[in-house]
Structure 1
Amino acid sequence: MKTLKILVGLALIIAVSAFAIDKVGVHNTNVDGYGIGDVANDFELKNVDGAMVSLADYKDAKGYIVIFTCNHCPYSVAYEDRINALDNMFKTKGYPVIAINPNNPKLYPEDSFDNMKVRAKEKGFTFPYIFDDGQKIYPQYGAKKTPHVYVLEKTKTGNVVRYIGAIDNNYKDAAAANEKYVEDAVNALLEGNKVPLEVTKAIGCSIKA
């Protein structure tokens, strides 16, 4: 009986320790996706122009602004012009936008690949708009909403997650947004500084899988 109590106690200590490490985000490997400091896997997904896109294609990139977004969600629609602006602002500085539609078109036909092509043309997207066919990539990242942003920094050890969350603090009105989380994060990285706010709450529609 005494031996059993000792074993139970040891099991609890191990479980608590593992939870603590996970919460700190040290090489987070939990099922909820990446944490700050984790190395993100590359992917190869089809763009609206028919070409396959991966992060490795961007040889001169310093990092990436990966945004999970879609056609039908009003939050995503509200941010389309701002996503274009982020790409125009940072692509030439080494941080291009890569937009990924994670939704299952069987549930939301508006988010089909054909409709993605139409939307990209209508809005004049300057960035790749790629389809997460089979919904395999967004769970790796842990994306929950559209839009949901992951800023990655290219390093010798891989593409390290430096920011996760929302684009800014006002989806309704771009002019009223006074906290520009993604912009601040990328500017900090370009200056060689730590991202001032690493995680924010993504506001948007739930991903339809």
Structure 2
Amino acid sequence: MKKIVGLVLLASIVAALGVAQAQTSVGKGYAVGDAVTDFQVRNMDNKLISLADYRSQAGVVVVFMANHCPFAKAYEDRLMAIHGRFAAQGYPVLAIQTSDPAIYPEDAFEVVQTRARERSFSFVYTLDETQSVARSFGATRTPQVFLLKRVANGFVVQYIGAIDDNPQDAAGVQKRYLEEALVSLVAGRPVPTPATRPIGCAVKWKN
């Protein structure tokens, strides 16, 4: 109960403090239906990977994360479950740690590597070193999802927002926005709810 209350209070604080920062630090970013420009991020093996590396997939679940953020941590198991279910259907999870480690040392590459090993993440966890990827997407929160579908010339955004409607309690989730979107895409149907409001920590931008 204390953990749930703490997350609720934290959500209110980050919402109040993070809006101005997000508005001044991020451009328009992508909207649903936009084509996504190729990008590179560094994986936990210290190798650069790109969006183009996923061209054999049906799409990609891009999730912006922050190692220090309790909301992001609360979703790690759910993301592993989503990856386990949908990667085989062509939609793997690509997690991108994007917050400035100068503000939170927990977000430093070596610390993120350690956590990835300890948690044995089934999905690919990467680092957006310059924050250019988060800026190009228009990410403002961690976690925040951009669900991409592969088309002839690249990838197009199909869903933006929250993973589900309950960051505090996985057992209490009523609306599984990301899973509903993935089920629809796999079945060849339009995404029923293309956008929701992400709930989490504000992205910590470099000065």
The TM-score with structure 1 as length reference comes to: 0.84
Q: CA deviation at 1:135?
A: 1.0
8 Å CA contact retained: 2:55, 2:154: no
C-alpha distance in structure 1 between counterparts of 2:165 and 2:140, whole Å = 17
The alignment status of 1:90 with 2:90, answered yes or no, reads no
Query: Which of 1 and 2 has higher RCO (CA within 8 Å, sep 6+)?
Result: 2
C-alpha distance in structure 1 between counterparts of 2:135 and 2:55, whole Å = 26
The amino acid that maps onto 2:103 is L
Q: How does 1:54-203 map to 2 (within 5 A)?
A: 54-203=50-199
Q: CA deviation at 1:58?
A: 2.4
C-alpha distance in structure 1 between counterparts of 2:124 and 2:142, whole Å = 16
The TM-score with structure 2 as length reference comes to: 0.84
- Aligned positions, number: 180
The worse-fitting range, judged by mean Cα deviation, of 155-164 and 48-57 is 48-57
- 1:14-62 Cα offsets, whole Å, 9 max, x none, are xxxxxxxxxxxxxxxx932000100011211110112211122124200
Gaps of 5+ in 2: 1-25
User: Where do 4+ consecutive residues of structure 1 move more than 2 Å?
Assistant: none
Select the structure of larger CA radius of gyration: 1
Q: CA deviation at 1:84?
A: 0.8
- 1:94-131 Cα offsets, whole Å, 9 max, x none, are 00000001111111111000011011011111111111
C-alpha distance in structure 2 between counterparts of 1:140 and 1:50, whole Å = 22
The amino acid that maps onto 2:43 is N
- 1:108-164 Cα offsets, whole Å, 9 max, x none, are 111000011011011111111111111111011010000000000000132000000
**Which of 17, 22, 42 is 2:38 aligned to?**
42
C-alpha distance in structure 2 between counterparts of 1:194 and 1:133, whole Å = 34
Gaps of 5+ in 1: 1-29
C-alpha distance in structure 2 between counterparts of 1:108 and 1:157, whole Å = 38
- RMSD over equivalenced CA pairs, Å: 1.2
- 1:62-86 Cα offsets, whole Å, 9 max, x none, are 0000000011101001101001111
The amino acid that maps onto 2:134 is Y
Q: CA deviation at 1:172?
A: 0.8
Percent identical pairs in the alignment equals 43
